[in-house]
Structure 1
Amino acid sequence: MTVQAKICGINHPDAMEAAVQGGARYIGLVFYERSPRYVPPPTAAQLARLAPTGVRVVGLFVEPDDEFLERVVTNVPLDMIQLHGEEMPARVREIRETYGIEVMKAVKVADAADLDGAAAYQDVADRLLFDAKPPKNVAALPGGNGLSFDWTLLAGRTWTKPWMLSGGLTLDNVAEAVRATGATAVDVSSGVEDRPGHKVPAKIRDFLRVTGAL
């Protein structure tokens, strides 16, 4: 089994280089201003152009309005839009049809009922991403909090669309997470940082070396 990896929250050329050279299949650029990983569209455009053919650039948005989406999509070469807020299925469909770009919808998981809700997105999104539900405090971000969820909730589940596993993944636990869930694609952000928003190239390379061997 080949496990593909997405390095999310890239905001510096050094991190981009480490991800590309390490074999990342996806690169995530965060367009959510509250995040320490946020990149303004002009900077994001420069980073996106460093991604070679075969590495897909994913733009992460949280409940974006049409004006902001239009500005980013017009100026940044994205291969996929990731919706990481509370977007309803109709909004996911609308964005997918408007921009003609693949859309991946994040589903925040704390219990089995949260996974049941993912079914509504299978017909409107190209991919799903399962992430840990953020803690209930005002400082929590929609994602990238370094939290994992009970991976056994995904065991034996099947979906009509490809999916990624996210939430608290690190060099030390990603192999266990893949074994528990059957994931063929994983997404990491805080797990390759030494502080919020600061990617460590060596950690990126180490993470990709492990996932590349799974």
Structure 2
Amino acid sequence: MPETVRVKICGLTRPQDLAAAARAGAAYAGFVFFAKSPRHMEPDAARSLALEAPPGLAKVALTVDAEDAELDRIVETVPLDMLQLHGHESPDRVAALRARYGLPVMKAVGVAGEADLPALAEYSRVADQLLVDAKPAAGAELPGGNGLAFDWRLIAGRRWAVPWMLAGGLTPENVAEAIHLTGARQVDVSSGVEAAPGDKDAAKIAAFVTAAKS
């Protein structure tokens, strides 16, 4: 019996969207702390939302090259289960933050071609999980959540020393194919289940989770 695919709904900003993610059977709820993102939340607002999460729904804070003071405020304010580092954090920085906060750390690595794959092995030595994402275009404002996919064949059959999650351009229509091609047991979606940037669509969330688990 194959293990169930675990789904992360990222960029949640509203109570109804968190409820929809939980109702659909998502395993992770992601909150974005990055001012340039339309899904950005202040820690106090994220705390209120996180406190509504039912038991079993892991709460993940996405940050981008955040300084210690900002991370301190987030971790002290929001009840979290994991940190997601989505910037240019070095392996040493990942290890330091893991030790500083005592929380599991997921490191996002952007992939566009073969040359990007060695970084996954490098970060697998210091992170608890990897997020294999599409590399944003040069000069892009956002490191993720752009609705971009990459050539999934690049990572077909590859495995790393820690659990990993597939992200980048996933939708209810293509997530089953992505899982089939890559063997991913975890998937992440943000813009692919939205009615507008930052506003999730409950029907799309349900369809995504159903497709991923099927």
Q: TM class, shorter-chain normalised?
A: over 0.9
Q: How many residues align?
A: 212
Residue 18 (structure 2) aligned to one of 11, 16, 19: 16
Residue matched to 1:152: 153
C-alpha deviations, 1:108-138, integer Å up to 9, x for none?
0000110112111111100000000001134
Residue matched to 1:129: 131
AA aligned opposite 2:186 = A
Residue matched to 2:94: 92
Q: Structure 2: any 5+ residue segments left out of the alignment? A: none
Distance 2:177 2:212 in 1: 11
| Secondary structure class of the residue paired with 1:15 | helix
TM-score when normalising by structure 2: 0.97
Distance 2:78 2:101 in 1: 13
C-alpha deviations, 1:49-87, integer Å up to 9, x for none?
111111100000000100000000001001000000010
Residue matched to 2:43: 41
Residue matched to 1:185: 186
Identity %: 54
Distance apart, 1:21 and its partner CA: 0.6
Superposition CA RMSD, Å: 0.9
Equivalences for 1:1-214 in 2 at 5 Å?
1=2, 2-138=4-140, 140-213=141-214
Worse overlay, 203-212 or 58-67:
203-212
**Contact residue 124 and residue 160 of structure 2 kept, 8 A:** yes
Distance apart, 1:169 and its partner CA: 0.1
AA aligned opposite 1:190 = S
TM-score when normalising by structure 1: 0.97
Q: Structure 1: any 5+ residue segments left out of the alignment? A: none
Distance apart, 1:194 and its partner CA: 2.0
Worse overlay, 50-59 or 174-183:
50-59
C-alpha deviations, 1:8-54, integer Å up to 9, x for none?
00000010000001100000000011100001101100111111111
Distance apart, 1:156 and its partner CA: 1.9
Distance apart, 1:212 and its partner CA: 2.6
AA aligned opposite 2:19 = E
AA aligned opposite 2:205 = I
| Secondary structure class of the residue paired with 2:180 | helix
